[in-house]
């Protein structure tokens, strides 16, 4: 459906858990954050009810996120059930990749179309420093297995001066050696991310140009999001940049988010949303739910205000609590 300014909203990101098996320093403290209780998160049945209403409103693409979605029991069946909803054309997932290898075959059989693996360094020491865990080998195995099974695979890397500023071209090499796109995502000033310094995408593109040669804009379609892609000489995959802060793309935003505790979130920057869980558990009808969601989507904010406007209604939660 169209929102109030004419954008076609056809993409829903569903967080299924706020739990994660890594402890990335820009996402959460070493001890983690207090997790939601079992009754506080949406059941899979509730998620499916919301997903069906979303499909009736024109949502065609669903991304499963967390926390780490693969830690939630029954996640493969949820992928299968969402893929079976009339109107849903794609189901994809964002994961840290630690559990991807053992689950890749089941996910492929369930119809998962694509997976984005979060990976901020190919250097084992840097990986451990960033994630506070020693799981680089498992992540690489998950990437290999998913790619071999035909699940379209991308790498998401957040460039941060203090953490991986010297490792970024190493991540880019994955796109040279494999048919995998590597995307660099600007650090969002949310939660613990406010404590670190982003590496601008323009600076990173220059690093890549100096090491690999002249990049050229990619003519291929690479997915559903706002990334700008480049091809490089001798590369099997492409390099993408998502510049939500330095190059705001709000006028083309096509997404809404559903948090694990059932809040329909219309913009990542703001804490405003619609508490769908309470409505569902209060007995709202399917038609009533659809109407609430329709009204919410129509009022989606025109743009975020990360670049320095009023702090009113700014989101204070960490990304693991919102959904990646």
Largest CA distance in the chain: 59
Residue 152: pLDDT band with limits 50, 70, 90:
very high
Do the domain assignments include residue 4?
A: no
Judged by DSSP in three states, 25 sits in coil
**Side by side, which strands form the sheet with 11-15?**
216-217, 228-231, 239-242, 181-185, 152-157, 114-118, 90-95, 61-65, 11-15, 255-258, 263-265, 273-275
The answer as to whether 89 is a domain residue is yes
Domain count, the chain: 1
Q: How far is CA 243 from the centre of its chain?
A: 14
The residue count of the chain comes to 324
Q: Is residue 3 part of a domain?
A: no
d(CA 245, CA 52): 32
- Over residues 240-268, the mean pLDDT reads 84
CATH number of the domain within which 74 lies = 3.20.20.70
* pLDDT value of residue 220: 86
pLDDT at 306: 47
Q: Quick check: 162 pLDDT over 80? A: yes
Domain contains 184:
yes
Res. 113: pLDDT tops 90: yes
- pLDDT, tens digit (0-9, with 9 covering 90-100), for 17-69: 999 999 999 988 888 878 899 899 999 999 999 999 999 999 999 999 999 99
Query: Which pLDDT does position 164 carry in this prediction?
Result: 94
Is residue 1 in some structural domain? no
- Residue 312's pLDDT is what? 53
CB distance 228 to 218 below 8 Å: no
Question: Which tens digits make up the pLDDT trace of 176-229?
Answer: 999 999 999 988 777 788 889 989 888 999 999 999 999 999 988 887 677 899
Domain assignment present for 301: yes
Range of the domain at 227: 11-322
Residue 5, domain member (yes or no) = no
14: nearest Cα among 264, 219, 235: 264
Mean per-residue pLDDT for 120-140?
A: 96
Q: What average pLDDT does this structure show over 84-111?
A: 98
Is 284 contained in some domain?
yes
């Amino acid at each position: 459906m169209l929102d109030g300014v004419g954008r076609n909203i056809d993409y829903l990101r569903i967080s299924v858990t706020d739990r994660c098996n890594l402890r990335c320093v820009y996402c959460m403290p070493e001890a983690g954050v207090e997790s939601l209780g079992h009754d506080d998160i949406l059941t899979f049945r509730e998620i499916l009810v919301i997903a069906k209403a979303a499909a009736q409103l024109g949502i065609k693409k669903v991304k499963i996120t967390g926390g780490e979605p693969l830690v939630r029991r029954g996640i493969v069946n949820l992928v299968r059930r969402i893929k079976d909803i009339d109107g849903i054309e794609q189901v994809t997932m964002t994961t840290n990749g630690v559990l991807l290898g053992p689950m890749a075959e089941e996910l492929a059989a369930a119809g998962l179309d694509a997976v984005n693996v979060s990976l901020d360094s190919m250097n084992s020491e840097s990986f451990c420093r960033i994630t506070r865990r020693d799981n680089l080998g498992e992540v690489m195995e998950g990437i290999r297995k998913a790619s071999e099974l035909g699940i379209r695979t991308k790498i998401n890397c957040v460039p941060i001066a203090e953490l991986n500023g010297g490792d970024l071209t190493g991540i880019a090499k994955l796109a040279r050696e494999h048919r995998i796109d590597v995307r660099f995502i600007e650090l969002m000033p949310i939660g613990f991310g406010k404590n670190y310094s982003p590496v601008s995408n323009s600076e990173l593109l220059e690093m890549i140009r100096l090491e690999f040669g002249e990049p050229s804009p990619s003519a291929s379609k690479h997915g559903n999001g706002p990334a700008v892609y480049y091809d490089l000489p001798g590369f099997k995959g492409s390099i993408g940049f998502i510049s939500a802060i330095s190059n705001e793309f709000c006028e083309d935003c096509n997404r809404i988010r559903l948090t694990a505790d059932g809040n329909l979130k219309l913009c990542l920057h703001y804490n405003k949303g619609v508490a769908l869980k309470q409505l569902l558990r209060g007995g709202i009808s399917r038609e009533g739910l659809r109407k609430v969601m329709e009204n919410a989507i129509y009022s989606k904010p025109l743009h975020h205000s990360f670049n320095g406007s009023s702090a009113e209604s700014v989101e204070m939660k960490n990304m693991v609590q919102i959904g990646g």
